[in-house]
């Protein structure tokens, strides 16, 4: 049994997402946890802004201290090690990229949220409009 469905693009990872009428509550994110990620991101945004300015200041202070320390001890060529550490750190903060499976054409369309078989006629508008017109067959 094929159900009415909607096609939309995830606001976060931009994958095309098919959603059936039962799962459709006006979602804007995919089923791969983007809504959760987006919520966490928005919660952390303000905090992060504060942290980056603070971290930047601390980093600068630490760098100056290291520089002075090095000048004192006359230790040479520790720069490469420093950049390596920095690389590892910055890599940890980038969001993990998981391989995504794109829906193939001419294959059964399925809701990305519950796996329900969907009709090929995908809407791009929200379900609310149809319900208000009295087309709900529940």
Binding site for Zn ion (CB under 5 A): 10, 12-13, 20, 23, 30, 34, 111, 113-114, 116
- Smallest distance, Zn ion to C-beta of residue 52, A: 24
Looking at residue 26, what DSSP letter applies? S
Q: Min. distance of Cβ 87 from Zn ion in angstroms?
A: 27
Conformation bin of residue 78: beta by default, left when phi > 0, alpha when psi is -120 to 50: alpha
- Between residues 42 and 71, which has the closer beta carbon with respect to Zn ion? 42
Task: Determine the Cα–Cα distance for residues 138 and 78; give it in Å rounded to an integer.
Answer: 70
Residue (6 or 12) nearer to Zn ion, CB: 12
64/73 Cα distance (integer angstroms): 14
Quick one: 6 or 52, whose CB is closer to Zn ion? 6
């Amino acid at each position: 049994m094929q159900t009415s469905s909607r096609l939309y693009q995830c606001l976060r990872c931009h994958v095309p997402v098919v959603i059936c009428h039962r799962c459709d509550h006006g979602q804007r994110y995919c089923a791969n946890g983007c809504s959760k990620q987006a919520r966490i991101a928005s919660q952390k945004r303000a905090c992060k802004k504060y942290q980056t300015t603070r971290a930047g200041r601390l980093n600068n202070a630490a760098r100056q201290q290291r520089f002075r320390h090095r000048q004192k001890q006359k230790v040479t060529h520790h720069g490469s090690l420093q950049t390596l550490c920095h690389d590892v750190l910055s890599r940890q903060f980038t969001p993990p990229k998981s391989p995504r499976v794109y829906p193939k054409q001419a294959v059964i369309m399925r809701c990305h949220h519950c796996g329900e078989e969907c009709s090929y006629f995908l809407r791009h508008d929200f379900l609310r409009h149809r319900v208000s017109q009295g087309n709900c067959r529940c």
